[in-house]
Amino acid sequence: MPDSHLPPEHIDSHRVARGLGSTILARMGAVVELVAQPLYVLMFGLAGYGLYAVLWAAVNLTENIFDLGMTSAMQRTVPKSASHAEAAEALRTALILGVGPCLLVAAGVSYFAEYIGPLLNVAQEEEALVVPAVRLFVWTLPLWAFVEITTSALRARMVFGPEIRLRIVWEQIIRLVLASLLFFAGMGLRGLFIAHIVSLSLTAVLCVRLLNRYYKLDHLRQGSLFGETAKHTFWAGISILPSNVVARLFSDAPALVLNLILPGAAGAKAAGLFTIARKLSSVVQLVRTAFVYVMAPLAASAERADRSQVKDIYSYAVRLILAIAFPLATVIATGRSSILSLFGDQALVAKYAVTILLFGRALEALFGISVPVLQVIAAYRHQIVASFVGVTVAVLVGWEAIELFEPLTAIAFATATGFVTMAAIPMVQLLVTESLHPFDRRFPSVFVRVAAVSVVAGLVSKLASKMPDPVAIPTIAVIAALAMWSSLRIALPTEDRASLGKIARTLRLIRQ
């Protein structure tokens, strides 16, 4: 790669579709994790899995605070870098500011583990494990920060596919295999913590090798430590940090809250059940995540070249999200009982939480595509408003809901209300401040057709859930796939389907 000024690339729906396909594959690790969950519950029990879920939630939440927004900052600064030296400067700044604080926090938590461990509610037989688990597991914090920042650096280079083998093979499958081996070796829940930190360590090592392909790493030792790109990266991260932290709060804080308000094993089980519900809804969230990963750098590049390109890809993304997310959410929600049976009869209490989170994530995906667009084209201060309003709404709703519903359902409802609010506000901000919105003349027709497909698919899924679980679960998976295909084929305009290229031809979304 010559170290020269890089011309802006034309960004259109075809470019979005190319990045989207490989990014969805790269994020399929979340689906592998969903498949692994029933096995973890089977091996370690719901309360044991709940403890693991609480600790991992705490690590995720802490990482999102102390990485200072560096994972998102590079999505704004690297695509606008004029040279490879500037891109390396942004990466160096992100690694120093993102990993450094996490190392310090991990050291502090490990030292004070004996005071932190007793704050968690766990089953009586696992009380002796808590402090050693906290002391060991907290070192996933800097490892996770490193993995998040380095993979974000790849996405900022508009390289969306190379995470595939890291996210699926190392981070998820190796963890599951190693945890199973350690379980059968008699290590119990301790084996799951060891498997997690080992798999994450391997992932971090492989990230360095992968990063070397797309950045000139020798530039990390050159140039000013506090150059213009470093300053822009710092301020971009700080401006995005509040929204990142609040988004993570909606994912991980509910499990922590449930663990703290319910005593003993009940707190651990409730945390485990919320995590199960959240992971099921993450199948829909995967749609938004993939689009956000692709849209942030592409919108930055499009803004650099031509503002009209931003509007085109913004509208295209909303139509595509609508056609995928809502049929998928409907099928899973109506087939929830059969799916939850994988986790045992005790998981059925989470059925209302699953439905609430599924449709909440679908709405978040639809509205939330405005977030990466706002992040890269609007003033930094605009990004803070949605974060504070969203968390305020969640707290107020949760305060009332906890009096009306059982804790798991109440927390799920408050969480969904908060993150939908937080996703919708940037869409309004873009309309008011930039006169930019995604709802063109094609949207109403797409909406009506998607709604019709979703209703039919939901009714079929509900009927399928009446069958025995071993038959119902694969049937519901097939219905979900057919519902998304039908929605794409029936609802989307021809040019939208054609932009999917080879995928459209293979799936016969367009005429050959």
Q: Does residue 405 have a pLDDT over 70?
A: yes
Q: What percent of the chain has pLDDT over 90?
A: 43
Q: What is the pLDDT of residues 304-334, one digit of tens each?
A: 545 567 777 788 888 988 999 999 999 999 9
Max avg pLDDT among 66-80, 106-120, 202-216, 431-445: 106-120
- Count other C-beta atoms under 10 Å from residue 349's C-beta: 16
Specify the pLDDT at position 502: 74
Q: What is the pLDDT of residues 327-355, one digit of tens each?
A: 999 999 999 999 998 888 888 899 999 99
Q: Is 110 among the domain residues?
A: yes
Specify the pLDDT at position 271: 92
Handedness of CA 226, 211, 279, 459 (dihedral sign): positive
In angstroms, the Cα distances linking 340 to 28, 59, 173, 265, 466 are: 20, 26, 22, 20, 13
Q: How far apart are CA 343 and CA 66, in angstroms?
A: 34
Q: Is 4 among the domain residues?
A: no
Q: How far apart are CA 300 and CA 85, in angstroms?
A: 19
What burial class does residue 2 get, using C-beta atoms within 10 Å of its C-beta: 0-12 exposed, 13-18 middle, 19+ buried? exposed
Q: What DSSP letter does each residue of 55-85 carry, written as one string? A: HHHHHHHHHHHHTTTHHHHHHHHSTT-SSHH
Q: Is 177 among the domain residues?
A: yes
Amino acid at 443: F
Q: How far apart are CA 55 and CA 223, in angstroms?
A: 39
Question: What mean pLDDT is predicted for residues 272-284?
Answer: 89
Q: What is the pLDDT of residues 464-507, one digit of tens each?
A: 999 998 899 999 999 999 999 999 999 988 888 887 777 778 87
Q: Is 509 among the domain residues?
A: no
In angstroms, the Cα distances linking 42 to 9, 45, 178, 183, 207 are: 50, 6, 15, 11, 32
Q: How far apart are CA 94 and CA 287, in angstroms?
A: 26
**Domain of 156, in residue numbers:** 13-501
Specify the pLDDT at position 214: 80
Question: What mean pLDDT is predicted for residues 36-51?
Answer: 91
Domain count, the chain: 1
Q: What DSSP letter does each residue of 447-510 carry, written as one string? A: HHHHHHHHHHHHHHHHHHTTS-HHHHHHHHHHHHHHHHHHHHHHHS-HHHHHTTTHHHHHTTSS
Q: Is 7 among the domain residues?
A: no
Q: How far apart are CA 46 and CA 49, in angstroms?
A: 5
Residue 383's pLDDT band (cuts 50, 70, 90): low
Q: Is 38 among the domain residues?
A: yes
Q: Is 2 among the domain residues?
A: no
Q: Does residue 135 have a pLDDT over 70?
A: yes
Q: What is the token pair recorded at 378?
A: 């609007």
Q: What percent of the chain has pLDDT over 70?
A: 84
Taking the model in full, what pTM does it have? 0.81
Question: What mean pLDDT is predicted for residues 189-204?
Answer: 93
Q: Is 512 among the domain residues?
A: no
Q: What is the token pair recorded at 348?
A: 């059925």
